């Protein structure tokens, strides 16, 4: 028998570490300890099981303890909670959850994959039986049981992050009236405010009530339902309340053992996933990671990084020298009709770093069709890029759209990972056929637009320029029938095809922002104005489509 490796916790990081380690070391004694009843399950699929999209509960269970033992020879012990670890003696103390008895195990190497726990603030009434979180399979069982027991007709979701929005959609699909309460002024924090406005628009279109900029202050029983008291405005009453306000690392074991933690309770690790004790590794939500974009230290609790970290820890325990090179927070979520995705740093993150727009970074917003417009089913997707003023570094990307958002965010995530700049986006050789893309892919178009900005050919206005600069004259170059469907307040309408002949109707002394449906005609119109000595011309990003979504 080779070295003995004890892994605390399963799911993404622990289970991937165990399986990888066995493939690399047939002789290792591997013990996996999990305080709950499941060692490997698809926690990202839990909201979809509640919403009956994933109908069979067993589909969520990736590996049973028996299968893990049969395939990998791993000693899996569920309902066994590690309650203490002693780095000096290299032992862990374990409690059998069902009996309460304790015992100890020695280890040569230890892996901490204890994950994170949902935040449950100490608020009055939070112990109401119909107020719950969704984080584990048993949580899911409780939510489903409560829906059936109460014959729920309404729900309040506290928090507008990934899980909150997915739960809102799935509860809505079951026929419940759903409200979202979010302390910030927007849902989906990885997006900048104007991009999240597209989600707000769509959520309201789907009948979801949004309460933004307010929080929940307490809960009360209301004839078996829950009254949610808010920090502002009238209380809400619902049959079910889902708390989804964030997570904290489950690092109490590591803290008690004297391992180094950061200020937020994340376990500090090096690139090899080693803690301050070189024989103890840590992976997943419980650790602090390097931010790939600016090399700072941060917390990014996502399944993809956790799986990679588990694999790297196993490599190094088996005698390798593999290093984790940072997280860039690539993420995607389905929100009713839309898909929202992001990677790297958004504009808010850059500003938190003290960076100033135009001096330290630039942004662009464009809207393109998901594939060739003449092929049926083309739908708009809106891309926002943040990049350096010299165009040599892309800081981040966000996309909101109806189709094929994931492949574009993944393309941009790869570009960022490998140090691509704006010119590289213009040169990407991407696959094209009418059902899948356009000859100029939206990612290429983001590069072309940024290149035009860097070369001085194009000035994009801010998304809220009409509010910030009331002196701006708005020139709408859409056709009259388009304007009849949706008009911009105070805009001058001259269709692009008539612009050259009607330039005399415009005042060259004024500053103009030009708008069309998505932005292409507006750019052509701006070039006509500039060629005719109009000195101050901007193009509204993504046109009337984006203006309507954000206003």
Any catalytic annotation for residue 17? Answer: no
Residue 66: band (very low, low, confident or very high) from pLDDT cuts 50, 70, 90: confident
The pLDDT of 347-351, averaged and rounded, is 98
pLDDT for residue 405? 98
Q: What is the pLDDT of residues 212-252, one digit of tens each?
A: 999 999 999 999 999 999 999 999 999 999 999 999 999 99
- Name the residue among 203, 208, 228 with its Cα closest to residue 218: 228
Which stretch of DSSP H or E encloses residue 207? Answer: none
Cβ-contact 247, 285 below 8 angstroms = yes
**pLDDT at 68 exceeding the cut of 90:** no
Residue of 24, 42, 44, 268 marked catalytic: 44
Q: Please state whether the predicted TM-score (pTM) of the whole model is above 0.75.
A: yes
- What does each C-alpha distance from 276 to 261, 271, 323 come to in angstroms? 9, 12, 16
* Averaged pLDDT, 1-12: 90
Distance CA 419, CA 398 (A): 17
* Residue 430 pLDDT: 97
Of the two residues 66 and 410, the one the predictor is more confident about is 410
The reported pLDDT for the residue numbered 64 is 82
Contact 139, 132 (CB under 8 A): yes
Q: What is the pLDDT of residues 393-420, one digit of tens each?
A: 999 999 999 999 999 999 999 999 999 9
């Amino acid at each position: 028998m080779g070295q003995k490796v004890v892994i605390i916790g399963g799911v993404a990081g622990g289970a991937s570490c165990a399986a990888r380690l066995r493939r690399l070391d047939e002789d290792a004694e591997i013990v996996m300890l999990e305080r709950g009843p499941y060692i490997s399950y698809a926690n990202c699929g839990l909201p979809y099981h509640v919403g009956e999209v994933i109908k069979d509960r067993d589909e969520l269970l990736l590996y049973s303890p028996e299968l893990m033992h049969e395939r990998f020879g791993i000693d899996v012990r569920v309902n066994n909670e590690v309650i203490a670890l002693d780095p000096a003696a290299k032992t862990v103390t374990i409690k059998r959850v069902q009996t309460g008895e304790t015992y100890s195990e020695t280890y040569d190497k230890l892996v901490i994959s204890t994950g994170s726990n949902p935040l449950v603030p100490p608020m009055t009434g939070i112990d109401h039986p119909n107020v719950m979180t969704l984080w584990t399979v048993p949580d899911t069982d409780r939510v489903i049981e409560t829906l059936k027991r109460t014959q729920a007709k309404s729900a309040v979701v506290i928090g507008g992050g990934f899980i909150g929005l997915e739960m809102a959609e799935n509860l809505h699909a079951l026929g419940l009236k759903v409200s979202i309460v979010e302390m910030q002024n927007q849902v989906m924090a990885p997006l900048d405010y104007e991009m999240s406005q597209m989600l707000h628009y769509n959520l309201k279109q789907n009948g979801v009530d949004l309460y933004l900029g307010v929080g929940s202050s307490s809960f009360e029983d209301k004839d078996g339902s829950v009254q949610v008291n808010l920090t502002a405005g009238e209380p809400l009453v619902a049959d079910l309340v889902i708390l989804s306000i964030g997570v904290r690392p489950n690092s109490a074991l590591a803290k008690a053992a004297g391992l180094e933690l950061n200020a937020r309770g994340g376990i500090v690790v090096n690139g090899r996933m080693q803690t301050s004790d070189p024989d103890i590794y840590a992976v997943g939500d419980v650790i602090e990671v390097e931010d790939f974009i600016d090399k700072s230290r941060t917390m990014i609790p996502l399944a993809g990084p956790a799986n990679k970290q588990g694999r790297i820890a196993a490599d190094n325990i088996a005698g390798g020298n593999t290093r984790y090179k940072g997280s860039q927070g690539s993420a995607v979520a389905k929100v009713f009709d839309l898909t929202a995705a992001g990677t790297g740093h958004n504009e808010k993150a850059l500003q938190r770093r003290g960076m100033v727009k135009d001096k330290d970074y630039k942004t662009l917003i464009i809207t393109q069709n998901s594939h060739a417009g003449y092929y049926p089913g083309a739908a708009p997707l809106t891309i926002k890029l943040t990049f350096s003023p010299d165009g040599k570094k892309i800081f981040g990307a966000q996309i909101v759209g109806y189709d094929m958002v994931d492949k574009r965010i993944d393309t941009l995530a790869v570009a960022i990972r490998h140090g691509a700049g704006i010119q590289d986006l213009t040169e990407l050789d991407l696959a094209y056929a009418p059902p899948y893309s356009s000859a100029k892919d939206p990612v290429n178009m983001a590069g072309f637009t940024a290149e035009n900005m860097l070369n001085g050919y194009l000035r994009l206005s801010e998304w809220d320029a009409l509010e910030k600069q009331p002196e701006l004259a708005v020139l709408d170059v859409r056709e009259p029938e388009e304007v009849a469907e949706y008009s911009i307040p105070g805009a001058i309408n001259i269709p692009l095809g008539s612009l050259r002949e009607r330039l005399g109707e415009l005042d060259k002394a004024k500053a103009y922002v030009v708008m069309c449906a998505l932005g292409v005609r507006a750019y052509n119109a701006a070039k006509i104005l500039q060629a005719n000595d109009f000195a101050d011309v901007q193009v509204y990003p993504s046109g009337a489509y984006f203006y309507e979504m954000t206003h």
